[in-house]
């Protein structure tokens, strides 16, 4: 009997969120922000682009995609040429081409693109197509309060450092510049008097949860899972089979390195989308000002729905207020359309100790 699948969607102000849910558990998240439009290249989009610079040392060409803050990177072969179908061709700076985004930008790296067509008649760089999944997100409607709360909880789960293992124990998940390290911790998990059987049961459950968390968080590249050591070779074989089975329905390419004698399992997952923590947080790990601002808008909506007719006041940190004032997206009219002209935003007095993630939304 196949597992039931659901899709949760919520079009909130400035951000549309989508969750793929299998048997009641969220396994994947997709977030589309209004601020991304014209600023960030997303996986699956197609662009008319102009070759800005050919860097033979890096074996690639940087392309102007018509975005405000980002370029595309088109890999070149050792011969300095690029693949187009079954052929290889040379590029010249200033040439107009059509490309598709095959990997989103990560911190310090440009989005990677693939050549689709040469010669676009000198068109200015611009997006010509978006992926089907983003078209679905663009048609989403605002969700009811319960659904919105479920999505909030799923995203909080995807940003947490620790994730519970079914039956007890936890995964400690640490993305770094070099790899993603995941440690399996038994914690207070109950078990029998057989340490070997206990370790096997824990590791088997951890394998399934690790696969879910990796997909949920859009993690990729080299991933090292530090399982609890087991002595029996047959148990290590069972664990290897469990890891492979857990990733069997992953939409991205996964390569398995196997279990070392130290109990560390290495695998590599294609990094096609920006990891969730990079999308929603700053490099220092703090939730970004935009993320907090969009959370505040949802809280104002919630209070407005609960307190019909009353004015809603919301106090946020100064840097969050600065984001609102920047006009990066048009949020004022959208908020007024949803709850009317009965809201006000402010920040605390200068010198007040107000953490970035603190939001005080209240009815007056």
Residue-level pLDDT at 70: 84
Rg, the chain, Cα only: 23
Sort 198 into a burial class: Cβ within 10 Å, 0-12 / 13-18 / 19+.
middle
Bridge-based pairing of strands 111-118 and 71-75 is: parallel
Shared domain for 142 and 165, answered yes or no, is no
Residues 174 and 180 sit within 8 Å (Cβ to Cβ): yes
Residue-level pLDDT at 108: 74
What are the 10-residue block averages of pLDDT along the chain, 364 residues in total?
A: 82 96 94 92 94 92 91 94 90 93 88 91 88 83 93 96 96 94 92 87 96 97 95 94 96 94 92 94 94 98 92 96 95 95 92 91 95
Measured between alpha carbons, how far apart are the two ends of the chain, in Å? 53
Shared domain for 70 and 9, answered yes or no, is no
Residue-level pLDDT at 352: 82
Domain boundary among 260, 275, 290: 275
Domain boundary among 275, 302, 320: 275
- CATH number for the domain that contains residue 310: 3.40.1260.20
Shared domain for 248 and 318, answered yes or no, is no
Domain boundaries, position 142: 5-37+133-153
Shared domain for 177 and 248, answered yes or no, is yes
Shared domain for 165 and 265, answered yes or no, is yes
Q: Which two tokens stand for residue 204?
A: 């088997």
Shared domain for 313 and 357, answered yes or no, is yes
Residue-level pLDDT at 1: 44
Shared domain for 178 and 226, answered yes or no, is yes
Residue-level pLDDT at 360: 97
Shared domain for 111 and 171, answered yes or no, is no
Residues 30 and 133 sit within 8 Å (Cβ to Cβ): yes
Shared domain for 25 and 143, answered yes or no, is yes
CA distance 94 to 87: 21
Structural domain count, the chain: 4
Residue-level pLDDT at 192: 73
Residues 329 and 34 sit within 8 Å (Cβ to Cβ): yes
Shared domain for 32 and 144, answered yes or no, is yes
Shared domain for 226 and 178, answered yes or no, is yes
Shared domain for 165 and 270, answered yes or no, is yes
Q: Which residues are 174's β-sheet partners?
A: 181
Distances in Å between the Cα of 203 and the Cα atoms of 118, 224, 230, 338, 358 are 51, 14, 9, 48, 38
- CATH number for the domain that contains residue 88: 2.40.50.140
């Amino acid at each position: 009997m196949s597992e039931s699948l659901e899709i949760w969607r919520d079009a909130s102000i400035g951000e549309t969120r989508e969750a793929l849910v299998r048997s009641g558990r969220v396994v994947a998240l997709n977030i589309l922000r209004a601020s991304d439009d014209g600023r960030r290249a997303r996986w699956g989009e197609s662009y008319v682009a102009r070759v800005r610079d050919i860097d033979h040392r890096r074996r690639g060409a940087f392309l102007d995609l018509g975005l405000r803050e980002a370029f595309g990177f088109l890999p070149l072969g050792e011969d300095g040429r690029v693949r187009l179908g079954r052929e290889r061709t040379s590029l010249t700076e200033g040439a107009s081409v059509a490309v598709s985004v095959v990997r989103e930008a990560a911190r310090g790296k440009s989005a990677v693109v693939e050549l689709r067509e040469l010669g676009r008649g000198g068109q200015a760089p611009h997006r010509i197509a978006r992926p089907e999944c983003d078209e679905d997100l663009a048609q989403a409607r605002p969700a009811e309060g319960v659904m919105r709360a479920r999505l909030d909880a799923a995203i909080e789960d995807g940003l947490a450092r620790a994730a519970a293992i079914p039956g007890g124990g936890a995964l400690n998940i640490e993305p770094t510049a070099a790899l993603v390290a995941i440690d399996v911790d038994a914690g207070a998990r109950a078990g029998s008097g057989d340490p070997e059987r206990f370790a096997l049961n824990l590791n088997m459950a951890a394998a399934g949860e690790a696969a879910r968390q990796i997909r949920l968080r859009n993690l990729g590249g080299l991933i090292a899972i530090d399982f609890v050591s087991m002595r029996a070779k047959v148990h290590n074989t069972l664990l290897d089979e469990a890891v492979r089975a857990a990733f069997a329905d992953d939409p991205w390419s996964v390569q398995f390195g196997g279990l070392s004698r130290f109990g560390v399992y290495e695998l590599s997952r294609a990094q096609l989308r920006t990891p969730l923590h990079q999308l929603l947080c700053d490099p220092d790990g703090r939730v970004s000002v935009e993320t907090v601002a969009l959370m505040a808008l949802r809280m104002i909506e919630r209070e407005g729905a609960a307190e019909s007719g009353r004015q809603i006041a919301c106090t946020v940190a100064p840097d969050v207020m600065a984001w609102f004032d920047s006009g990066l997206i048009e949020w004022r009219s959208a908020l007024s359309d949803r709850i009317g002209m009965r809201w006000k935003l402010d920040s605390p007095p200068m010198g007040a100790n107000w953490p970035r993630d603190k939001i005080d939304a209240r009815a007056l």
